[in-house]
Amino acid sequence: MVTEGASGARAAARCRELSRAPYSDRADRLFRGWLTPAHRATIERVGAWMEQAGMEVRRDAAINLIGRYEAARPDAPALVIGSHLDSVCDGGAYDGPLGVMLGIECVAALHAQERRLPFAIEVIGFGDEEGSRFPAAMLGSRAVAGTLAAGAADMVDADGISVDAALRAFGSAAAWLTGAHRPPGTMLAYLEAHIEQGPVLEAEGLALATVTGIAAQLRWDVTVTGVAGHAGTVTMGLRRDAVAAAARMVSAIEDIALSDASELVATVGRIAVAPGAANVIAGDVRFTVDIRAGTADRRDRAAAAIRTGLHAIADARGVRIAIATVHDLPPCPCDPRLMERLDAAIVATGQPARRLMSGAGHDAMAMAALGPVAMLFVRCAGGVSHHPAEQVDPADADAAFAAMRGFIDRLGDEHRDA
């Protein structure tokens, strides 16, 4: 049930509302891709909530949704509160939208009290973080941060539609690579609330944690090219089977990650086989590799070992391999002073301070190019995420709302006499 006043429970209820049609591109499950009909319906709905909360609402050239609650002084920089509105296919209701909805609730509470702060507050619903439509992640926040590579506009989705064409069809008239870039000095700090996507908080009986930083990420698109042939006529010793070679590669990736015996993880999340017929030896296989670690050095050592191992398997099995880097994101430490303020705000809710590193990537990684960042983790049931079973207790959402309001008040007190 949606409460009348600003609250975390209302934020959680709004996330659940956005998990159904017309806010999903599929009727049987949640999938909200960037620049799709469901994305359009979502930003219209969320934009209306922003307006109700007292914000001026606009869309930037990358179709990120931005609501601004003005400061006491109109030209003041902004505390940016954000997260993403897109979802993975068959995803959950809270991954991304919860951070946006909680930001709206914080502004709604200020507006109800007719309070203005020494800084503006901007709530941003980034259009793309997951990379579910195009082969790269965080396109929305990287456009705002000005860190996108020049070729990003030429990437195509599964239907061959380029990023540039999709943006123009959606109504973006500006050159999005530069048109969405936020001017330097206009962001005081960035705050993102997000579900933990892991089981630690639940195991410890805690609702909230301060994030210390986000792990370094590396993502590859790997193509293995063999020779297609008839499944019944080409003998085993003469085959150059792309899928058999790829299977060995996937096992090698897992072995290398396991041997590191650390927080390092490596994942093959997508595999496509061509021609994909039951009676044909596969001639081509494409798969993704995602490598993450707390430090760039550890990640890069594992990546070098994996690359060497994949090439060795390709040579031994008589196939060709190409490895293309989709994105390479350095680790993102959160700002120590902002972490202290967030710790204090959590303690003020009656809970102990707890700090966790994030193995998952977040828009905060991109926004760190513009200023200091902080993140708040919220407990999710069973640590389940990227799945329809994703669940947040409304009481935990209320605790997150209280902690965010406390963080904002502390930041306001510090800057009142600045």
Residues at the binding site for Zn(2+) are: 84, 95, 130, 194, 386
Token pair recorded at residue 20: 């159904």
User: By three-state DSSP, how is residue 251 classified?
Assistant: helix
Residues whose CB falls within 8 Å of the CB of residue 203, separated by 6 or more in sequence, listed in order: none
Token pair recorded at residue 367: 């926004």
349 closest CA partner among 394, 401, 300, 311? 401
Cα–Cα separations (whole angstroms), residue 112 to 53, 69, 415: 8, 12, 22
Token pair recorded at residue 252: 């090698």
CA–CA distance, 31 with 29 (Å, rounded to integer): 6
CA–CA distance, 68 with 45 (Å, rounded to integer): 16
Residues placed in the known binding site for allantoate: 219, 279, 292
58 closest CA partner among 73, 68, 70? 68
Residues placed in the known binding site: 84, 95, 130, 194, 219, 279, 292, 386
Element (H, E) at 346: helix 336-348
* Token pair 């590859």 in the structure block, residue: 220
Element (H, E) at 332: strand 332-333
**β partners of residue 356:** 211
Read off the amino acid at residue 140: G
CA–CA distance, 386 with 402 (Å, rounded to integer): 26
Residue 409 CA from chain centroid, whole number: 27
CA–CA distance, 397 with 401 (Å, rounded to integer): 6
**β partners of residue 221:** 288, 324
Element (H, E) at 286: strand 284-293
Residues whose CB falls within 8 Å of the CB of residue 369, separated by 6 or more in sequence, listed in order: 145, 146, 147
Element (H, E) at 233: none
Query: What does the chain come to in residues?
Result: 418
User: By three-state DSSP, how is residue 173 classified?
Assistant: coil
Token pair recorded at residue 129: 């973080």
CA–CA distance, 279 with 317 (Å, rounded to integer): 20
**β partners of residue 57:** 67
